[in-house]
């Protein structure tokens, strides 16, 4: 008596090779861009930019002090010391800066705008403060300890290209440029369908040949890390009709349906 081999998925030749399937997916994705939405910056992590962004302002936006110290007009002072300069006030980070009085110095903190008339900042460790007069022996180089407007980024410079995925660094940069919202492609909606009568939920009481459904949770983690919105994740068992029904439901909810089994 002879028996014929039982056909199974391991022995069957697929109608579509893996390479052809991947190419089909890539082609489809290129032809079907997700809709563009405006997202608050705090909700845009992991999203993909829908447009190229240009810097709307300089970074820094104004000349400012890189150190805590004293702003002065070094170009107007003699080349050799000692130097005694009265203070005309102070400028803190966040303040507006009045023009520096001739022959004076100004107390200034890191990040504070450089007052007009000043061209150099001497760090506080290099001076001695007597009442409202600073005394020091050596003049710092002209322009020392100043961050110039646009030194990091000039207005109009390309900041991020269309198609960039927004990570923490990109989000921080956009915040520094004053962007409250950003145009991105809507996150892809994905449905996950695992198949197998042997699969049960983690934590359930296992019987006989049952195993826990690990693939579904692996896919959930991978898709979350990629920034997708998982709108459906369920086990369909091995019943054809049940699978077809769930596929139809998933098609109506998701941009992409991922099956595992």
Task: Give dist(CA 11, CA 225) in Å, integer.
Answer: 35
Under CATH, what is the fold of the domain 64-147? Molybdopterin biosynthesis moeA protein; domain 3 (2.170.190)
3-state helix, strand, coil in the chain (%, to 5): 20, 30, 50
Q: Do residues 64 and 111 make contact, with C-beta atoms less than 8 angstroms apart?
A: yes
Tokens of 38: 């405006």
Is the Cα torsion angle 198, 204, 208, 214 positive or negative in sign?
positive
DSSP code for 206: P
pTM: 0.73
Distances (CA, A) of 138 to 81, 82, 105, 126, 221: 6, 7, 15, 8, 60
Q: Please confirm whether the linkage preceding 82 is cis (ω < 30° from 0).
A: yes
**Mean pLDDT of successive 10-residue segments in the chain (261 residues)?**
49 77 87 90 93 96 97 95 95 93 97 97 96 95 97 95 95 96 94 86 86 88 89 86 90 89 77
Closest to 226 measured CA to CA, from 46, 43, 15, 102 = 46
Residue 109: Cβ within 10 Å count = 17
Under CATH, what is the fold of the domain 187-261? Molybdenum Cofactor Biosythetic Enzyme; Chain A (3.40.980)
Task: Give dist(CA 83, CA 105) in Å, integer.
Answer: 11
pLDDT of residue 2: 47
pLDDT of residue 149: 96
Closest to 47 measured CA to CA, from 172, 199, 183 = 183
Q: Where does residue 152 fall: left (phi above 0), alpha (psi -120 to 50 degrees), or beta otherwise?
A: alpha
Q: Do residues 49 and 184 make contact, with C-beta atoms less than 8 angstroms apart?
A: yes
In the chain, domain spans: 64-147, 187-261
Q: What is the CA radius of gyration of the chain?
A: 32
pLDDT of residue 76: 95
HSE value, Cβ hemisphere, 13 Å, CA-based, for 96 = 1
Distances (CA, A) of 24 to 19, 20, 33, 243: 9, 6, 15, 23
pLDDT digit string, tens, across residues 87-129 = 999 999 999 989 999 999 999 999 999 999 999 999 999 999 9
């Amino acid at each position: 008596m002879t028996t014929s081999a039982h056909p199974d998925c391991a022995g069957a030749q697929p109608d579509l090779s893996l390479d052809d399937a991947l190419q089909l997916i890539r082609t489809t994705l290129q032809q079907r861009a997700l809709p563009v939405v405006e997202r608050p910056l705090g909700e845009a992590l992991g999203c993909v930019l829908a447009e190229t962004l240009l810097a709307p302002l300089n970074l820094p936006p104004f000349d400012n002090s890189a150190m805590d110290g004293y702003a002065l007009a070094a170009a107007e002072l003699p080349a050799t010391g000692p130097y005694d300069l009265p203070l005309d006030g102070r400028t803190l980070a966040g303040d507006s800066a009045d023009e520096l009085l001739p022959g004076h110095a100004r107390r200034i903190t890191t990040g504070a705008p450089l007052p007009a008339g000043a061209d150099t900042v001497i760090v506080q460790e290099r001076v001695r403060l007597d009442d409202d007069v600073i005394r020091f022996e050596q003049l710092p180089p002209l322009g020392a300890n100043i961050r110039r407007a646009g030194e990091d980024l000039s207005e109009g410079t390309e900041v991020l290209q269309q198609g960039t995925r927004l990570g923490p660094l990109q989000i921080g940069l956009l915040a520094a440029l004053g962007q409250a919202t950003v145009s991105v492609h809507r996150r892809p909606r994905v449905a996950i369908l695992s198949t197998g009568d042997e699969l049960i939920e983690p934590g359930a009481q296992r019987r006989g040949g049952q195993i826990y459904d690990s693939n579904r949770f692996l896919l959930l983690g991978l898709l979350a890390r990629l920034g997708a919105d998982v709108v459906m994740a369920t086990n369909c068992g091995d019943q054809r009709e049940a699978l077809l029904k769930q596929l139809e439901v998933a098609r109506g909810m998701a941009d992409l349906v991922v099956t595992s089994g």
